[in-house]
Structure 1
Amino acid sequence: MQSLFRVAAGCLLMLWLHTGYAADTGWLQSPQNTHAKVRLQAQPAHSSEKETRLLLSVSLEKGWKTYWRSPGEGGIAPSVEWQKPATAAQTTWYWPTPARFDVAGITTQGYHDEVTLPITLSGHAPATIAGTLTLPVCSNVCILTDYPFSLDLSSSGDNAEFARQFAVAMGKVPIAEGLADSVTAGYRAGVLQITAHRGQGWQNPEVFTDTLEDTSLGKPVVKVDGQQAQFTLPVTDEWGEKAQDISGKTLSIVLSDNGLAQQISLNVSPLPAAVPGSIALWQVALMALAGGFILNLMPCVLPVLGMKLGSILQVEQRNRKSIRMQFLASSVGIITSFLALALLMTLLRYTNQTLGWGIQFQNPWFIGLMVLVTALFTANLLGLFEINLPSKMTTRLATHQRAGLSGHFAEGAFATLLATPCSAPFLGTAVAFALAAPLPVLWGLFLMLGIGMSLPWLMIALWPGLAMCLPRPGRWMLRLRLFLGVLMLSACLWLLSLMENHLSAWFVAVLAGALLVMLFVLSLRRYGLRNSALTTGVCAVLVGAAIVIATQFSGAGGKPLRDDIAWHPLSEEAIQNALAEKKVVFIDVTADWCVTCKANKYNVLMSDEVQEALTEHDVVALRGDWTLPSKPVNDFLQKRGSVAVPFNQIYGPHTLAGEILSPLLTRDAVLQGLEQARGAR
């Protein structure tokens, strides 16, 4: 009788245990693929959770692999075609951290040996879950295998072992936070750069990226520097050709390090046009040399070049030796001034101040000094007097020949100071690299800038015959010297006009009037009333006509120039808002002291074609003013690897990374940039 009770109890126990079993297909294997087997287990949802849990286990032979949700440059991810009522829309897959495989130059992401994928089905579970699992496996060859399955949930229930296995599988899924302190992603033509910061430092960081539409991401190059890990990935289209712009898109990645992984969603922002360290130092040195040379062609330096020409014409007994020494002294002045600028940038760096090309023109004291110097040079060129003040520095700046070579040294230094508000091709990249580089590199690149600018002066020093070809002094020289004086006076008045950003317009007008009256009085004492009045009248007409022509009329049609563009304040938010509305964005960062900016404005931006293009309904024009110190503008420029103005950039649906234009704008470049950013209408 006791035995009978034991048998009955055992049967009841077995029946009770059966209700706690999870539904299980057992290990499934296909005759067409003996290299892999799969198993599906499921547990129905609790009434409170309304979620059915599944486990997909894959066991692979050694040397075989399957793929992650984003396989990489080849392969496809495992998938299930569900039979109704269970649908893919109800399904959520959880993917453990994958590994990377490299075969024949192709990088893929997936799993080897064994992997278990947790899957959940939302809502009330049906009595039976069925479907077909499609599993890709690869070694030297790839096999795509279908595994039909069916899970009966009607007789299954809670099972502690299944719950443990599900928890273990979920423990291998990347977490939402806890690994990296901060992660950013940036894109520049053909390159995706992901930067992750971790206070604890990195041991063996890896990154796995999800697929972007019509884009292929290659194998990352990893660079670890203490608490920062940087991943650089090549970007192409699906055919390995030029990639589309992925700036502004959302990228999903998994970041892992020594068994800990984090799932992260990032917004891809534009990378600076020139990232320090991405260009070889010798290339930047050549850019500095070329940028310095081109500065001689900028309108900023023309008054000094004219003054230099006038100094040669004043010497009646010209010889090769004196000309060579004069131009060598001017070259030394140029190079010394660039080294002085390097010293200034060094001091600003150590005091955590804003770094930039031409920022000294944001200082009213510097502008005032330049006004004084150009006024002295103007008086000297006009032949009003030869000054001999107690201050040696002022004497050297204002005299020629009598001060020996120091006057020519001062001319070179002055040319450098006048050149700093101008930005030339190659100059911005070289200066941006220098300001972010170690101090020895900064000084070396500024030295190359000085050598580049002094190249024309050095050429005449090597071949003085070029200067000796000028005509001998005569009456024509007085007229030329007068023209050079007017040119220098224009530079002086322009510098004085910059003081309006620091002083009242009325006070600046009084200073300008006082300067002109003083020059007239000195001219009256030197040349008499008739000649002074005639010269002043001619100069006034010439200057007035030049101003009217430059500011009111275009060179082509003679129509008054008007700026009809609705400029909006520059900000990153304004750019993103415009891009969200599928609009084209034109950015102009300018400054009143920037001569190149003025040339771009009157020659290009205020031309009829560009005005029409920038006032179209799908174009947003943003302008940043760097006349005075501005942290938002400075941060905007530095983010794009620039430290100088003018700066122009175009964004659009087809150029989300932003196209940076040359400092010297052309109408064709602006119009073509707008069309390219807009794409097909």
Structure 2
Amino acid sequence: MKVEAVEAELVARETSVVPGQPLTLGLRLQHDPHWHSYWRNPGDSGLPTQLELSLPEGFVAGSFDWPAPQRLFIPPLANYGYEGEVVLPLRVSVPAGFDGDSLRVVGKASWLMCSDVCIPGDAELALTLPVSRDGSTSASRHAALFDDAHRRLPAQTLEVQVGAAGERLSLGLPEALASAEFFPYHEGLIANAAPQALHAIEAEGQPERRLELRLSDEGARRVADPAERLRAAEGVLVAGDRIFELTPVVAQGPLDAGVEISRVAGAEAAPAPGSSAGRAGGAFSSLFSRGAGGASTAGPAAGAPGTQATGAPGSEGSSASASGAAVDAGGQVGGSLAGLLVAALFAAVGGLILNLMPCVFPVIGLKVLGFAGHGSAGDPARQQSASRASRNSALAFSAGVLTSFWLLAVLLLGLRAAGHAVGWGFQLQSPAFVAAMALLFVAIGLNFSGVWEFGLGMTRLGQYEQRKGSTTSGSFGAGVLAVLVATPCTAPFMGSALGYTLSASVVETLVVFTALGLGMALPYLLLGSFPAWLRHLPRPGRWMESFRQALAFPMYATAAWLGWVLGRQAGIDATFALAIGAVLLGLAAWLYGRFVQQAQPVRVDPVRARHRRGFAASLAVLSLAAGLLVAWPDQKSISGQPARSASAGEGFDPRSAGLAGVAADAGAAGRVGAPGAGAGETGSASAFADPASGTSADPAAWYPWSPDAVARASAAGRPVFVDFTAAWCVSCQVNKKLVLDREAVVQAMQAAEVLRLRADWTSRDEEIGAELARHGRNGVPLYLLYRPGSTQPTVLPELLTPGIVAAAIESVARQ
């Protein structure tokens, strides 16, 4: 069964079952390139592979016989696991009285597959074997895998003397071994990433060896107990082609160190995450020890330093039984304090810049209006009251911002724990949420236009505080609204900071999101804390109401844009339904504002006025309910996600692009449905000519992203530019219109024969989410430029300029 990053199968050593004779079964794992699973002791992080078998009565299954693993470096950590193809064998005792004609074995396997990201998975597996009545059987086609696993099992036991001093653990080996590498059975005692040095000594004229290991901090404390010292030395010793299971005994005296003759390198010999040239994060990336911000280091051969991973985090045919939760290569790894502080700093700066993004500006403009109203007081008493109101409003606004960011963080953590690859702006991948947001912006726009009033609600933002009292709840709501409208935008520094949270603990994730919220709220906290600054704002007057009404139009524009996003997700019918819903919402707002909120003339009979208001209110409620019902997207119609239209991928002909064998898989066929993609944008079968000529019939063509297309194009000598985008991402749209579609940039890419691929995350896509996580991001935009033949891309900034892109392409063209 093919699932995420691995092919799993329940296999047998023999072709048939013989009653009374043991049966050797195994879990065969064929890992995708640069992915690995874990040994019985996973090391610094990870989870061991498990298999639960359902067998007939009388059958008894043993546990895995674990072949010796590889040491896999993820600096500064190390894990123990397997790559490539491996069988984990186990013995099953078959009762002599078994009288069935066949044996059906059902098992549930679970694992953690890791590369730059980790994907927990599981699969239901089954195997049926005939029963041999004459006692004869033969080797199955998997016998060679079982034999290889058997060769990696301990063939004999080796008694070793164990000594400890400080953080050093010494194993006295009685044989003159040329090399040795130790794999401990028990977690937390040995420093897995430390080098292991083999020393030669002479003991009573006989050559012996000492293997010097480093203890972990916890291990150094615990080995004072002789029993714990022996536990630390329990494990497997690999000495060339010989494999031993160690039987430790406590040394009677100190063990001589001797002379070092060989050494197994530790994690310090492996490249640190982020060390590749051109990766984002620069000097700061080494502080993000999870690998979230830098180049991958996963899956070396035993004893070798980490190698850069190029495998895709998913492939065609992935089973839904595999969980898609994406974390870093180390699983649940605790990061350094320095890394957390840098991530928090980046988040705070990104949150501050977020105030200048087009998503947030209309709401922020109205908040400034509220402060302008506070700065108008004349006498000292009113000044003191205005200062207090400003401070309370700023605190309430900041509380709304922080609460919203905390809720987003909790939702992200919950969805990831449930196995979903989600990131910043994930809620906008839901058509229902997009439709609800569009209607909310229509309602806010109508409020700003004066069609209806929401009293002291969140859209009033405190501009009438002096006249109508405290608007603390309104300011809190304004903070919530500001975060809601901010999610389509990604400010500079935010990408690296949010990428840090991909594998962070709950506390660390909340710290980063708190820093993001504080950065966004900082200007208002400062204005509320220093009322004297408010004197520099314009004096209140009629211009405030005019400005408020003018800001209704950005709200309408935002609603229109969200309608376009909904169309990309659920089709034109959903957009039309949203438009009708908006009209009905407008009718409800007009009825409420005109007949319920407005004061009736004195000459009107109070009873008739009350009945009129009740009737109008009923009509408003009915109109509102009808609008919501009509606008709500039909989930049954959102099956294939129009953003993945067939036409979007049909145009990708790898042969016309000069990439023999590159094929857009079915899953990638629509990923090119990028914002604004239309006829001619996704390319045609003849869009690219022979790359040797460097010409293109359609230099603006974009093709669907897939990991295979990137790998094959790079291997064929083509530079590759990948645009990770979404229709709801404002930053993506700005970069697309102002930079990527600019004629000079298109011509520069054409001259360098750059293949342009687009990954559309408008609707949720687990493979794209995992690829974002692989590059240390949990949101869009992300721009990658692959040099010919390279598997490690250059990561461009979130906000592009033609100069940045041109310089990156020029560096590729010079090669």
Scaled by the length of structure 2, what TM-score is found? 0.46
Pick closer, same or farther for the CA change 1:448–1:617 going to 2, 3 Å.
closer
Instruction: After TM superposition, give the deviation of residue 611 of structure 1 in Å.
Output: 1.2
Pick closer, same or farther for the CA change 1:198–1:580 going to 2, 3 Å.
farther
Instruction: After TM superposition, give the deviation of residue 342 of structure 1 in Å.
Output: 1.7
Pick closer, same or farther for the CA change 1:176–1:572 going to 2, 3 Å.
farther
Asked if the contact 1:367–1:498 (Cα under 8 Å) also holds between the matched residues in 2, the reply is: yes
Amino acid at match of 1:651: Y
Partner residue, 2:53: none
Amino acid at match of 1:643: N
Q: Is 1:497 aligned to 2:564, yes or no?
A: yes
Q: Distance in 2 between matches of 1:647 and 1:509?
A: 31
Partner residue, 1:376: 443
Pick closer, same or farther for the CA change 1:252–1:507 going to 2, 3 Å.
closer
Structure 1 residue corresponding to 2:536, chosen from 469, 477, 496: 469
Amino acid at match of 1:632: E
Partner residue, 2:722: 587
Please list, as runs of the form range in 1=range in 2, the aligned pairs for 1:138-287 lying within 5 A after superposition. Answer: 231-233=267-269, 255-256=302-303, 269=310, 277=335, 280-287=339-346
Pick closer, same or farther for the CA change 1:477–1:343 going to 2, 3 Å.
same
Amino acid at match of 2:420: Q
Instruction: After TM superposition, give the deviation of residue 477 of structure 1 in Å.
Output: 3.2
Pick closer, same or farther for the CA change 1:431–1:563 going to 2, 3 Å.
farther
Instruction: After TM superposition, give the deviation of residue 597 of structure 1 in Å.
Output: 0.3
Which structure features the higher share of strand residues? 1
Pick closer, same or farther for the CA change 1:306–1:179 going to 2, 3 Å.
farther
Asked if the contact 1:398–1:407 (Cα under 8 Å) also holds between the matched residues in 2, the reply is: yes
Corresponding residue pairs, total: 432
Structure 2 residue corresponding to 1:572, chosen from 707, 711, 719: 707
Asked if the contact 2:372–2:540 (Cα under 8 Å) also holds between the matched residues in 1, the reply is: yes
Amino acid at match of 1:639: R
Partner residue, 2:355: 296
Asked if the contact 1:654–1:679 (Cα under 8 Å) also holds between the matched residues in 2, the reply is: no
Partner residue, 2:799: 664
After superposition, the C-alpha distances for 1:5-24 in whole angstroms (9 at most, x for unaligned) are xxxxxxxxxxxxxxxxxxxx
Pick closer, same or farther for the CA change 1:249–1:330 going to 2, 3 Å.
closer
**Once structures 1 and 2 are overlaid, which stretch shifts more, 342-351 or 268-277?**
268-277
Please list, as runs of the form range in 1=range in 2, the aligned pairs for 1:94-133 lying within 5 A after superposition. Answer: none
SS of residue in 1 equivalent to 2:783: strand
Instruction: After TM superposition, give the deviation of residue 668 of structure 1 in Å.
Output: 0.9
SS of residue in 2 equivalent to 1:498: helix
Q: Distance in 2 between matches of 1:513 and 1:304?
A: 25
After superposition, the C-alpha distances for 1:87-145 in whole angstroms (9 at most, x for unaligned) are xxxxxxxxxxxxxxxxxxxxxxxxxxxxxxxxxxxxxxxxxxxxxxxxxxxxxxxxxxx
Amino acid at match of 1:300: C
Structure 1 residue corresponding to 2:416, chosen from 329, 349, 361: 349
After superposition, the C-alpha distances for 1:55-95 in whole angstroms (9 at most, x for unaligned) are xxxxxxxxxxxxxxxxxxxxxxxxxxxxxxxxxxxxxxxxx
SS of residue in 2 equivalent to 1:325: helix
SS of residue in 1 equivalent to 2:343: helix
Q: Distance in 2 between matches of 1:459 and 1:267?
A: 46
SS of residue in 2 equivalent to 1:445: helix
After superposition, the C-alpha distances for 1:131-160 in whole angstroms (9 at most, x for unaligned) are xxxxxxxxxxxxxxxxxxxxxxxxxxxxxx
Amino acid at match of 2:269: L
SS of residue in 1 equivalent to 2:489: coil
The CA RMSD over aligned residues, in Å, is 4.7
Amino acid at match of 2:762: T
Amino acid at match of 1:233: A
Partner residue, 2:33: none
After superposition, the C-alpha distances for 1:248-294 in whole angstroms (9 at most, x for unaligned) are 999997635xxxxxx99977549999987376222222112112112
Partner residue, 1:621: 756
Amino acid at match of 2:537: L
Asked if the contact 1:271–1:640 (Cα under 8 Å) also holds between the matched residues in 2, the reply is: no
After superposition, the C-alpha distances for 1:199-257 in whole angstroms (9 at most, x for unaligned) are 9679778899xxxxxxxxxxxx9999999997343669xxxx99899x9999997635x
After superposition, the C-alpha distances for 1:304-343 in whole angstroms (9 at most, x for unaligned) are 1122234455679653222222222111111111111122
Q: Is 1:480 aligned to 2:539, yes or no?
A: no
Instruction: After TM superposition, give the deviation of residue 349 of structure 1 in Å.
Output: 2.9
Instruction: After TM superposition, give the deviation of residue 445 of structure 1 in Å.
Output: 1.5
Pick closer, same or farther for the CA change 1:251–1:356 going to 2, 3 Å.
closer
Partner residue, 1:75: none
Structure 1 residue corresponding to 2:512, chosen from 410, 429, 445: 445
Please list, as runs of the form range in 1=range in 2, the aligned pairs for 1:21-170 lying within 5 A after superposition. Answer: none
Asked if the contact 1:303–1:491 (Cα under 8 Å) also holds between the matched residues in 2, the reply is: no
- Identity between Structure 1 and Structure 2 (%): 31
Q: Distance in 1 between matches of 2:760 and 2:738?
A: 19
Asked if the contact 1:654–1:678 (Cα under 8 Å) also holds between the matched residues in 2, the reply is: no
Q: Distance in 2 between matches of 1:386 and 1:264?
A: 66
Asked if the contact 2:723–2:758 (Cα under 8 Å) also holds between the matched residues in 1, the reply is: yes
- In structure 1, the gaps of 5 or more residues are 1-174, 181-195, 209-220, 257-262, 389-393, 528-549, 553-561
After superposition, the C-alpha distances for 1:484-508 in whole angstroms (9 at most, x for unaligned) are 1112221222223222134431442
Larger radius of gyration: 1
Please list, as runs of the form range in 1=range in 2, the aligned pairs for 1:423-438 lying within 5 A after superposition. Answer: 423-438=490-505
Partner residue, 1:646: 781
Instruction: After TM superposition, give the deviation of residue 365 of structure 1 in Å.
Output: 2.5
SS of residue in 2 equivalent to 1:624: strand
Instruction: After TM superposition, give the deviation of residue 645 of structure 1 in Å.
Output: 0.4
Q: Distance in 1 between matches of 2:269 and 2:554?
A: 53
Asked if the contact 2:717–2:789 (Cα under 8 Å) also holds between the matched residues in 1, the reply is: no
Instruction: After TM superposition, give the deviation of residue 616 of structure 1 in Å.
Output: 3.5
Scaled by the length of structure 1, what TM-score is found? 0.55
Please list, as runs of the form range in 1=range in 2, the aligned pairs for 1:410-425 lying within 5 A after superposition. Answer: 410-425=477-492
SS of residue in 2 equivalent to 1:472: coil
